Amino acid sequence: MRQMREQGVKATFFSGDCIVTEELVTAAGGPQYTDGVLMTFGQDPRLIPAGKSVIETFRASKFEPEGYTLYAYASLQAIAAAFKATGGSDSAKASDWLKSHSVDTVMGPKSWDSKGDLKVSDYVVYQWDNKGKYQQLP
């Protein structure tokens, strides 16, 4: 694991989801500086079968839908479904509708509780390797 050492201090770099982009490797100066770095993020939405056709469309246009791309897409799908179901103009009605209905998205079916939080969180831990890629830890 990549560890930072200064004056006897050893620490593993562990970040939140703000580094879930391969631009991290470039910004750090290469994979030798990101090897072993840990981060949290949801299960990679590019691996969810429900989004296959959308992912292929992104990739066909030479864009890799990493990071929050598919999360944003799924959010818009949910908002569109709520407005369609409630007549399309009242955001309070759309919000209430989402709290009691599931929506099929590029990230699979999603549903929310009475506060508007996702009922199931899919956050996991990833580790960057010496090739500048990250993989989910078991």
- Condensed to tens digits (0 to 9), the pLDDT of residues 15-28 reads 998 898 889 999 99
Domains, the chain, ordered by start = 1-42+122-138 (no CATH), 44-120 (3.40.50.2300)
pLDDT confidence tier of residue 115, bands split at 50, 70 and 90: very high
Predicted pLDDT of residue 2: 55
Burial class (CB in 10 A: 0-12, 13-18, 19+), 92: exposed
Give the C-alpha separation, 126 to 138, whole Å. Answer: 9
Predicted pLDDT of residue 31: 96
pLDDT confidence tier of residue 123, bands split at 50, 70 and 90: confident
Task: From 55, 63, 67, select the one nearest 21 (Cα to Cα).
Answer: 67
